[in-house]
Structure formats: C-alpha cells, structure tokens
C-alpha cells in the first residue's frame, strides 16, 4: 500500500521541480520511484536525515532547508489524518522542521494507507511538543492543566529524553478526548516556550490514501 501511495505521489512530480520530502517508509518508496524515473533535474529539501541519505545514495540533489523559501510541492507521511486533513505527526520528533518544509510548499501532500485515515482524529497518539529547554517544567505543567498526560519522550537523549536537531526536548502530551483540534493546537502553541507541535491543522492540501485493494483515493 505504501508503494502504491508513493507511485501516485511520483506522478505529481515534474522534472525541474524543487520538492519537499518528509520521513518514513512511504517516502523511501517515493525516492525509489524518483530514482527509477527521468527526474534527474529535481532538487529535494528534507528535515529527515534518512531521507537525505537515501536521496544522496541515488544521486538526487539535496539542498539545505535554510537556503530555500519556496517549494513546488512537498510530500510527507503522518501517523493519523482525518477527513478535514488535520494530521497528527507524532513519531519522528522532527515536526518543527517538517512544518517549515510544509509551509514553503505550494502544495503539501500527505501519503497514508487507509488504516491511518479517520473521520476525526482519535488521539491514539500523543501530540509531540518541542519546547525551549528553560520552559520544560512550565510547559509540562500547562499541558497537564489542559488535561494531558505528559512525558519527556524517552530515547537517545544524553541527559534524559529525546532532543531535537535544534537542541530542544520533545514531550509527548496524551489527550483523551479533543473536541476542537484547531483550538487545542492554538492553546498549546500559545504557551510561552513551545517551539512547535506535531498537530498539523489546515496545512495539507490533500492526502493520497492507499487502499488494501491496490487503488488509491485522494481527499
Ligand atoms: C511520524 C511521521 C512519519 O512521516 C510517518 O510516521 C511515516 O509513516 P510511514 O512509514 O507509514 O510512511 O509523520 O510522525
């Protein structure tokens, strides 16, 4: 399914474009399609080290995000997307840079299999929140007041949990029920010290959804 999704995405790319690519396995398939096709003049911007390495290994040009202000199109995976194209991107802890890439793109396209498409985000996954280190305890307490269970994401951080490429901790805020996704995202983003959240509201132009029967639908 990820392969079919990637193939549908590949068809939207034209030679000469500068494109954004996020992380994940579907994006890896898309890189394989780009490599097999005649897209030798494209340039890629990516927040993902794995994606950058895969592109480089196929001779696909990768340019720095900070030298880029506009992209023809960008593709990314997510953990869950709803029918209004709100997405939760909790997994990679690179959401701050992913959102920058998304913002630069004329079209930000999510690539998912049908298991990730829901009518309304269910918040089975936490909202990842990148914070300035000095604001760690304050932001944690504010998220808890909003009803979330909050933990510093465990992983490879040398003093504790996961740190981003920007040197900031990432905490996971698990919410039980959320009525208004946009309002929740605004409230979290407004807490002083929050750098960015993994809740992508009103950003995606479309989602390419791969179905188990091998077809794809676009929402
Ligand atoms: C993590 C993400 C990834 O892009 C997403 O999980 C990738 O999914 P897949 O491996 O199924 O393509 O947003 O938060």
pLDDT computed for residue 158 by the predictor = 59
Cβ 172 under 6 angstroms from ligand 1:
no
pLDDT by residue (tens digit) across 77-113? Answer: 999 999 999 999 977 889 999 999 999 999 999 999 9
Q: Angle formed by the axes of helices 2-10 and 25-36, to 10°?
A: 50
pLDDT computed for residue 154 by the predictor = 84
Cβ 47 under 6 angstroms from ligand 1:
no
pLDDT computed for residue 144 by the predictor = 97
Longest Cα separation, the chain: 53
Q: Which of 78, 125, 127, when mutated, tests ligand 1's pocket best, judged by the most ligand atoms within 8 Å of its CB?
A: 78
Report the atom number in ligand 1 closest to the C-alpha of 28: 12
pLDDT computed for residue 202 by the predictor = 92
Report the atom number in ligand 1 closest to the C-alpha of 22: 4
Chain centre to alpha carbon of residue 59: 24
Question: Percent of the chain scored above 70 by pLDDT?
Answer: 98
- ipTM (interface pTM): 0.95
Cβ 90 under 6 angstroms from ligand 1:
yes
The first and second tokens of residue 129, run together, are 């929140």
pLDDT computed for residue 185 by the predictor = 97
pLDDT band at 39 (very low <50, low <70, confident <90, very high): confident
pLDDT computed for residue 157 by the predictor = 54
Cβ 157 under 6 angstroms from ligand 1:
no
Cβ 23 under 6 angstroms from ligand 1:
yes
pLDDT by residue (tens digit) across 123-160? Answer: 989 999 999 999 999 999 999 999 999 999 887 655 67
pLDDT computed for residue 162 by the predictor = 87
Cβ 24 under 6 angstroms from ligand 1:
yes
98 is catalytic: yes
Q: Which of 2, 91, 129, 207, when mutated, tests ligand 1's pocket best, judged by the most ligand atoms within 8 Å of its CB?
A: 91
Determine how β-strand 18-21 pairs with β-strand 43-45. parallel
Chain centre to alpha carbon of residue 63: 19
């Amino acid at each position: 399914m990820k392969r079919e999704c990637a193939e549908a995405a590949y068809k939207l790319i034209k030679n000469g474009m500068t494109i954004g690519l996020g992380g994940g396995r579907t994006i890896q398939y898309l890189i394989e399609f780009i490599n097999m096709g005649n897209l030798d003049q494209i340039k890629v911007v990516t927040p993902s080290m794995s994606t950058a390495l895969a592109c480089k290994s196929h001779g696909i040009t990768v340019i720095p995000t900070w030298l880029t202000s506009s992209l023809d199109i960008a593709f990314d995976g997510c953990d869950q997307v709803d029918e209004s194209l709100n997405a939760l991107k909790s997994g990679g802890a690179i959401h701050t840079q992913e959102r920058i890439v998304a913002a630069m793109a004329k079209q930000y396209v999510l690539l998912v299999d049908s298991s990730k498409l829901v009518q309304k985000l269910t918040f089975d996954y936490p909202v990842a929140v990148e914070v300035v280190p000095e604001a760690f305890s304050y932001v944690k307490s504010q998220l808890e007041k909003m009803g979330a269970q909050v933990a510093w994401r465990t992983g490879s951080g040398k003093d504790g949990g996961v740190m981003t490429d920007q040197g900031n901790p990432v905490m996971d805020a698990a919410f039980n029920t959320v009525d208004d996704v946009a309002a929740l995202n605004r409230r979290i983003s407004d807490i002083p010290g929050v750098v960015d959240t993994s809740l992508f509201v009103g950003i995606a132009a479309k989602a390419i959804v791969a179905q188990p029967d091998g077809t794809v639908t676009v929402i």
